Amino acid sequence: MITARTLILSSAAGLMALSGAQAADLPVKAKAVEYVRICSLYGAGFFYIPGTDTCIKLGGYLRADVTFGGGTHGAPAWNGDLGQRNRYMDNYVARSRMALTVDTRTATEYGVVRTFGQGDFQFNNIGGGTVNPSVLTAAGVNSNLLNTAGGGYVAVEYLFIQFAGFTFGKSSSAYSTPWNGFPGNINSSLLGGNNTDTGVNNIQYTAEFGNGVSASIGLDDPQVWNRTAVYNLGIPSAIGVNGTGSNAYAGVHTPDIVGRIRVDQAWGLFQLSAAAHEVNASYNTLGAGAVPNSLSEISGHPESKWGGSVMAALNIKNLPTGAGDDIKIDVSYAKGTTKNVIATSGGSPNFAMFGGSGFGYQSVGFGATTDGVYMPGAAGTGGIVLTTAWGVRGAFNHNWNPYWSTSLFGSYSSVRYDGGADDNLLGAGTTSAKGAYCAAFAASHAGQTGVAGVGTYSCNPDFNVSQLGVVTRWTPVKNLTFSGEVQWFHLDQKMSGSSVFTATAPKPNALYEFKDQNTVLLQLRAQRNF
């Protein structure tokens, strides 16, 4: 009996020990999994970052563009090889881009704190044209690697923080309209007004007054976006064969001061904007190409001047022509800040276009885009003379049905230089911007009226540009759109007559007729938003 009892107790103790050992090996109860939660505070697509009260939205698009008869993203053939229509021109260019956006928002006692960023992963056949951003041609960068198999680059668009009405970072200027340079077009080269659609470094504050009324004020960094050029017309070869000069802008001494008042209602939008921009030059004495030398600093410089611009914009919605139809239009005037009229998604273009002629080798049209010019010396301009520009652009957008839509768009821009067309005549001096420009132009273009007693052409650097286009879109399924856009561009230059000069290679030394120019392009696009 004792033996049996001992056996039972020993077995029980062994089972308990075994049970304890097994219990010690059991895993600790896992923490509850925190699944991703939908955030409905800021619209569709937001969700909470696990473990935080911050909402995030990931989005973007994938886009493929091709252009016939123009530059990347629908730029007209207004300069370079395309403008010359030579054998080096790329009559067909393409670009593929994937844009990724990250939008975060957090509710605080000061309001919503928001961050936003967009990076464009893109590849395009760069060819011989100019490409934005300018870092592609910076010293030490092999731009050939950017358009070879496996190449490409990342372009940075918006990067900003918003807090308590303030915006810090790279965003659309407070001066700009909500549509920037895209009232209805898909190309990024519709002139006639301001365009900061990929962002400018700035600090701005917006006050909301209720009922859709708001006001904004900001400080914009002018280095990349808001400058065109200042010409020193007293340097050697100040104006080249294409009618343009070298940029003699000084450093950035002050930001651009911008602001707007906006009324945003169910019927549409109305906005008034203003900007102040400092125009400053480096030195009176510069070498060819506006390069400084050992005499530059002691030569002095012209006094800086403040220029500025104003813009009025109107958007009318709910037109009787169809559901969702609208009209967008803006009108701009600028003095010393020409970028707010001759604006693209990149830099402001100069124009050098060649075509046929009834008597010369070819015809040519020039247009130099500047903020101001100066010519040192007794017969100079008396300091910087600001360039004047004005423009208008707009679009009518019509929806045929939920799948098809069409936009008719256009623009007109004008650039004017101070003075008279004959200010450069012998004995008349060159005290105006126009006279100083024409005196420098004569050095590379023989036969100007009043110069050396002969004349085959009259000089006038003023010009106008016109654009007219139509784009039709097909959206077979939600967020997938195919577009086709045709655009006509016209350069109305003010030179008359002809000149024998050596144009940029591969053009020969020949007789060229000064004449207005035209070009047409076709842009096709497929885009999937996500």
Structure tokens at 371: 């903020």
d(CA 233, CA 225): 24
- pLDDT score at 425: 61
* Predicted pLDDT of residue 431: 81
The whole model's pTM is what? 0.89
Q: What is residue 379's predicted lDDT score, i.e. its pLDDT?
A: 80
The domains of the chain are located at 70-97+165-529
Q: pLDDT value at position 147?
A: 59
pLDDT of residue 35: 72
What's the CATH fold of domain 70-97+165-529? Answer: Porin (2.40.160)
Query: What's the per-residue H, E or C state across 262-276?
Result: EEEECCEEEEEEEEE
Residue with tokens 């600090």: 203
Q: In the prediction, which pLDDT does 7 show?
A: 42
Mean pLDDT of the chain: 90
User: What is the per-residue pLDDT for 452?
Assistant: 61
Q: What's the first-to-final CA gap in the chain, in angstroms?
A: 82
Please give the pLDDT value at position 275. Answer: 98
Q: What percent of the chain has pLDDT over 90?
A: 80
Long-range contacts from 48-54, C-beta under 8 angstroms, 24+ separation: 49/104, 52/106, 53/106, 53/107, 54/104, 54/105, 54/106
Q: What is the pLDDT of residue 142?
A: 53
pLDDT at 79: 96
pLDDT of residue 152: 80
Q: What percent of the chain has pLDDT above 70?
A: 86
Place of tokens 């945003």: 264
Residue range 421-460, pLDDT digits in tens: 667 664 556 789 999 999 999 999 999 987 765 679 999 9
Low-confidence ranges of the chain (pLDDT < 70): 1-34, 125-150, 421-422, 424-429, 452-454
pLDDT of 136: 47
